[in-house]
Structure 1
């Protein structure tokens, strides 16, 4: 019997099954050659065994042959990344400029988007956020007065008469308070003065506002009973720690305003940073009946700090609920009141974004501002991408031979595009990682400016990481595709000969367009920022109609005539005190008392006959201390009481009293009584410059004095720390049970524009970022141009050109581009800033120099960069460039 000289067929079947068709025959051929050699040197059985071993070994070594395309893809990726690394290493300068531009742009973008995400997250986590509304008050026949206050009986009537209400929470925010921590014997152990965070709330507050995730965590106390009884208090965790340390706060006593004792019945987790309910001390709403007395049934009187939030039942629309509230209000009030006062609903999602009504946190941001920030972020990414496009297309001729060789060796256009996109991806990914780290390092420094309170790092925030990944993909495609497509289309023969110049590509004209676009964006922001800063300076320097420097203000705890007189005499005896005045409120500022009433002609009978005014009770020193100008008549004395009054010019004009001189001596009807005008004072800004002049009535009512104003003397005694220390000592002497809480009057006024100032600083920062990115791109382009035209410059110098002519040659084109960008930027900037300024009743007039000044600055910076880089080439010895030709 003949021996079987064929290899095992089942091995060939395995190779046919697992190896690629284009490789199986070659594998089997190699194995058969080894099989024949084994037969010649050994016996057939040994040869067949070795054939099996070699075949199986080959298959195990190269397992999953069917997946070879993915292996091929992995190899291709590895090759592309290796080539990208080598290419970037060979062009370190360009790579560094691109990375710096992208790092700057992406880091600023991440910071902006962190701000936007924080602002948009305010009170968005509540389970029923889309069904929760705040009841607001809009008054006047023209619906021009926007308020948040709701009369005390309104929520009670709504609960009783509107069955469609699913839930309601009324609250009275009294902000600051004197808090005394009592020990077991009832004596004061600690004293605190809180400037904010104190509120009266209904128990339903915690079911209406649950902050998601099961609601605010209760650390101690019963959520259902803690705020039921009057004078019950729930503290946040940080407040409890502040007042009681490590002691158990439950059952402890707190005395409010030196008068009312309350018992701690619960402790909750601190409210999140992204809420417009920044409460720390929550008192039971039922306490209001004990504090307000008969005012709890007052339908006409209203306090803006008393607010109501409701949740609509399914199927009930906002408009239907407003109609039902109007019906309830009309059933309990006179016709003239409910026809001029309208209770409307404001969605909870709008509370943080509507400055007309404000909120408990005292900070709002308009949706237009958020949109502006998002556009800035988008444009920052675009400017960084533009830098990459410009430099990549500008450098394309330096890689012409490389592209030609790749095409000759078989690379197709798709492969080349992928190669250059890989290079872009490496740069963008590197920049993104560095930008993420940079933004993380900068955010703690910027949080005071941005008014942020972030609880976790960007590296651990899934939202930011997702945005960061999106930026990598987006910027890679936007900035990398055009250069990759342009470079990959080079003809191999012309590329190898290097017989074309950049100008013959479509890229040169595109680079001009992109440079213009980039600097147009930069100049829009720079011009806008310049005008915003000018408006902020206008706020700080405008004559508001009173003196605001070197004045300390504080609330006085003792309103008795004897106590105020004693404090005044002691203060006036101090060398550093120039003047002292007591009043109900301050001329202006965020932190001041506000009270409004009605005044009209003596014959006034109906509501339409009256004009709303702001009540200001003053002593005789008030006008002199604040330097408020008396236009006619006389100042008030303490003997005038409520019979004689002062009006400001605006109210006198509104009441048609004639000139300031003619108004003196006329009678008016105020609070149902006739009063006589004894003087007219000049207008002053009692509110921010966003609003116009208010109507003001000044009276001399000592029992309402609640604020002391202390004017410090300038000159040799103007040692501020010593003055404040001396005032604190006098305060302790006169009011040993009260903590002095003072404020400088000018700081109080600056608080009007705190939000605008923060965003002005923010836009200044981003203007610098835009300039930096633009300048990096310009530096990269001029570097390339200078290097490419080195021999041309040398020849020009040999032929007689001087340095200034060469500098002009380099700078002419860029000056034209920057000038064109300025022309395009001006109308856009004018439209934007003019709309922004229209939000203010008083603002700077726009002049040509508001636009020309920042435009000239940008042009000079661009010229400086171009000139600095090109000056070295212009001053170089032409022999060094020509001797090797």
Structure 2
């Protein structure tokens, strides 16, 4: 019997190639998009679960209250983990300290060196707490000046040669013996490192502040992330209480609001961690879109299947008249659905394989292949195929198998059979499509608005060159040589790379005795002219203080200073700084947040202090400069003065645009998903239009015989569908507005959500629907009425 069902299904596929292609293609597209999004979402939810003890690993989070401000940090003191384990050995099995290393240069010899960003100092217990298996060597970080490389980094510096036992040099003076090579850390890991350096190596770096941190035995904040491996997950509360007791015992009653410490489970860090920027995580949105697109594909399948119902009606009537059971008919239609789903599923896997690099490239997600090879993932894929087959076949099977044989064989088949259901499905399809169109338009407009708004400084034509500390003794000659380059209009130096990292911050007391968060940095005298920072109050020509402080407008109000501000004193960590000038606000970060108070300590342009602390050079290029040639010349000058570190640079405007990477991803993905949703919805509408034309064939013939024109027939057939699309708009608009209003509130500077975007979306949906239905309606209107009225 089953074999017969497959024969009938294959015969129907061959008999109706167009509908088969639309059915399989639409379902395959929906499945492919759903699988791709599902792969991304499942990857997000699987973070850190590959560690065998993931449910027992916790990261320490500390909170401190300063006035009305709450500061969170994951950096603890050097003995924080040891003291906690000593206080509660029955609950704490192990701990590990990790400190992310600042950007550093690794080199094998003088001829090969490169910057590395993913380096960290860690205890040897890192390989006992976490699951980072080694491909070569042993996980030995017990001795100073030892390192374990990732396979990727080992290949970069040593090729196919076994690097174990060899030496890499860190920042030109710290030799590191390679004791092992670990497998590349999976992309679904919160900890992403290319090399782990022994913790005790930090004692040899020559950093006095870090050395003091390493000898700090108190239980308090510090410089090292601390992870605990507990005996059980339930021990979390007891350990938190023990930490709080240790901290309060040392701090006593000296602070009105003592620091607090909590433990966050490793598997919660990526999606729900307190230090995460959740506004940039759209996994829930994408998961909803995946489900919606799959539903669109299923609805499309149902509509196209029922559009052929009249062609199958006589078959059903004859089989039921000859004694066929409804259960047998349901089984047959489910078999046909399973065959169609199997074909669509196979095609969707091919699409997934081909589109996966493009999809993840668009999202800029470094998702590796390890997750897609997991049995759990393939179990989900097979489950999706089964559920799709059952859902896709359910409505057609129940509808077609329920035809009454007497009515069908008499030719009085009910034209309105299941009509409301099909119309409701079409409304749902276009409601989703219209909602996605509105969201795509608003997100794009908001992103364009953020990119086009002035950050308050000149960023076009500005190149930023990070300066290593080793360049400080030769900085003056380096700067003077750059000033002679014809393509450079102006240059300055500052203590931080703008739009690449944060600046220093202090808690400053205002005149009203409130503690406020205050950003600080250091710049030279040419910084303001190089970046064209607008002055509100210019400093006096002669200095009244050794290190004048220039603040922005937000700082004036934030610190409760008088409107002129010049001459006021600001206490920065016990040092009184005199305000000598005020500039207009400019963005230190993206335009998403509010402007904050900023103080810039101005140093002479002959000072080497900024370079000695690892500053950045800002080069303003001439408008007519040959950019590649100018940058090549700057690189040659840099190489003559700096032998240890490679030359690197970035464009300020590109760095500013990169601040909106999350919004760019969302905009791009919404545009892609919207296009796919509209395509699938149009296929469903095509099916419904085909069904309507099929059932009204005789009516159209009669109207044409009685003198109806093509335009009248077009209007007749299109009217009902356009009404459905209008209903879809009315349903989609309030839902889209609700989500957009919630999303856009995160932005300090934002566009208003005006009615024009909803009108454009509705008009676009109506146009697409009219073109889709019009094709079928025009075909019916031009058909020969004699053939339509001929007795069957």
TM-score by length of 1: 0.82
Contact 1:147–1:304 (8 Å) recurs in 2: no
Which residue matches 2:713? 806
Which of 92, 97, 107 in structure 2 is aligned with 1:170?
97
Which of 503, 522, 536 in structure 2 is aligned with 1:617?
522
Q: How does 1:299-448 map to 2 (within 5 A)?
A: 306-314=224-232, 317-333=235-251, 335=253, 339=257, 341-354=259-272, 356-358=274-276, 369-448=282-361
Change (3 A) 1:307 1:528: same
Aligned pair 1:488/2:423, yes or no? no
Which residue matches 1:630? 535
In structure 2, distance between residues paired with 1:559 and 1:626: 26
Contact 2:521–2:600 (8 Å) recurs in 1: yes
Contact 1:169–1:201 (8 Å) recurs in 2: yes
Aligned pair 1:540/2:465, yes or no? no
Aligned pair 1:744/2:651, yes or no? yes
In structure 1, distance between residues paired with 2:429 and 2:222: 48
Bigger shift: residues 539-548 or 873-882:
873-882
Cα deviations across residues 749-796 of structure 1 (Å, max 9, x unaligned)? 333332332233222211111111101111222234335445544543
Which residue matches 2:688? 781
SS at match of 1:652: helix
Contact 2:28–2:345 (8 Å) recurs in 1: yes
Change (3 A) 1:747 1:318: farther
Which residue matches 2:503? 594
In structure 2, distance between residues paired with 1:561 and 1:467: 57
Cα deviations across residues 718-745 of structure 1 (Å, max 9, x unaligned)? x332232222112112213320122222
Q: Which runs of 5+ in 2 are unaligned?
A: none
Contact 1:601–1:669 (8 Å) recurs in 2: no
Which residue matches 2:574? 672
Which residue matches 2:585? 683
Aligned pair 1:148/2:74, yes or no? yes
In structure 1, distance between residues paired with 2:298 and 2:472: 71
In structure 1, distance between residues paired with 2:372 and 2:236: 41
In structure 2, distance between residues paired with 1:229 and 1:618: 40
Which residue matches 2:562? 658
**What is the CA-CA distance between 1:614 and the residue it aligns to?**
1.9
**What is the CA-CA distance between 1:99 and the residue it aligns to?**
1.1
Of structures 1 and 2, the one scoring higher in RCO (CA 8 A, sep 6+) is: 2
Aligned pair 1:524/2:435, yes or no? yes
Contact 2:78–2:223 (8 Å) recurs in 1: no
Which residue matches 1:41? none
Which residue matches 2:133? 216
Which residue matches 2:639? 732
Bigger shift: residues 858-867 or 527-536:
527-536
Which residue matches 1:757? 664
SS at match of 1:502: coil
Bigger shift: residues 168-177 or 837-846:
837-846
Change (3 A) 1:151 1:625: farther
Which of 592, 596, 610 in structure 2 is aligned with 1:704?
610
Contact 1:551–1:746 (8 Å) recurs in 2: yes
Aligned pair 1:584/2:486, yes or no? no
Change (3 A) 1:481 1:562: closer
In structure 2, distance between residues paired with 1:161 and 1:231: 31
Bigger shift: residues 404-413 or 346-355:
346-355
Which residue matches 2:193? 279
Structure number with greater Rg is: 1
Bigger shift: residues 457-466 or 310-319:
457-466
Contact 1:516–1:820 (8 Å) recurs in 2: yes
SS at match of 2:148: strand
In structure 1, distance between residues paired with 2:543 and 2:197: 38
Which residue matches 1:17? none
Contact 2:592–2:747 (8 Å) recurs in 1: yes
Aligned pair 1:255/2:160, yes or no? no
Change (3 A) 1:458 1:697: closer
Contact 1:552–1:742 (8 Å) recurs in 2: yes
Contact 1:545–1:684 (8 Å) recurs in 2: yes
Bigger shift: residues 686-695 or 474-483:
686-695
In structure 2, distance between residues paired with 1:769 and 1:775: 10
**What is the CA-CA distance between 1:121 and the residue it aligns to?**
2.0
SS at match of 1:126: coil
In structure 2, distance between residues paired with 1:697 and 1:865: 60
Which residue matches 1:564? 475
Contact 2:69–2:516 (8 Å) recurs in 1: no
Cα deviations across residues 354-406 of structure 1 (Å, max 9, x unaligned)? 47514xxxxx7779733322222222221111112222233222222211111
**What is the CA-CA distance between 1:824 and the residue it aligns to?**
0.5
Q: How does 1:84-99 map to 2 (within 5 A)?
A: 84-99=9-24
Number of residue pairs the alignment of both structures matches: 780
Cα deviations across residues 120-160 of structure 1 (Å, max 9, x unaligned)? 22211112211211112323355643333334453454344
Change (3 A) 1:560 1:264: closer
Change (3 A) 1:315 1:343: closer
In structure 1, distance between residues paired with 2:133 and 2:663: 32
In structure 2, distance between residues paired with 1:239 and 1:400: 66
In structure 2, distance between residues paired with 1:304 and 1:799: 90
**What is the CA-CA distance between 1:443 and the residue it aligns to?**
0.7
Aligned pair 1:192/2:114, yes or no? yes
**Two-structure CA RMSD over aligned residues (Å):** 3.0
SS at match of 1:339: coil
Which of 28, 45, 56 in structure 2 is aligned with 1:131?
56
Which residue matches 2:127? 206
Aligned pair 1:834/2:741, yes or no? yes
Aligned pair 1:845/2:752, yes or no? yes
Contact 1:599–1:610 (8 Å) recurs in 2: yes
Q: Which runs of 5+ in 1 are unaligned?
A: 1-75, 183-187, 359-363
Contact 2:530–2:620 (8 Å) recurs in 1: no
Contact 1:436–1:458 (8 Å) recurs in 2: no
**What is the CA-CA distance between 1:697 and the residue it aligns to?**
1.4
In structure 2, distance between residues paired with 1:424 and 1:827: 35
In structure 1, distance between residues paired with 2:130 and 2:87: 23
**What is the CA-CA distance between 1:516 and the residue it aligns to?**
0.5
In structure 1, distance between residues paired with 2:312 and 2:250: 84
**What is the CA-CA distance between 1:175 and the residue it aligns to?**
4.4
Cα deviations across residues 296-351 of structure 1 (Å, max 9, x unaligned)? 35699999963111122337533332222222223334756582533322221121
**What is the CA-CA distance between 1:498 and the residue it aligns to?**
1.6
Bigger shift: residues 681-690 or 379-388:
681-690
Change (3 A) 1:457 1:646: closer
Change (3 A) 1:779 1:476: same
SS at match of 1:700: strand
In structure 2, distance between residues paired with 1:315 and 1:457: 27
**What is the CA-CA distance between 1:501 and the residue it aligns to?**
3.3
In structure 1, distance between residues paired with 2:787 and 2:562: 86
In structure 2, distance between residues paired with 1:638 and 1:243: 51
SS at match of 2:634: helix
In structure 1, distance between residues paired with 2:633 and 2:731: 59
Q: How does 1:1-16 map to 2 (within 5 A)?
A: none
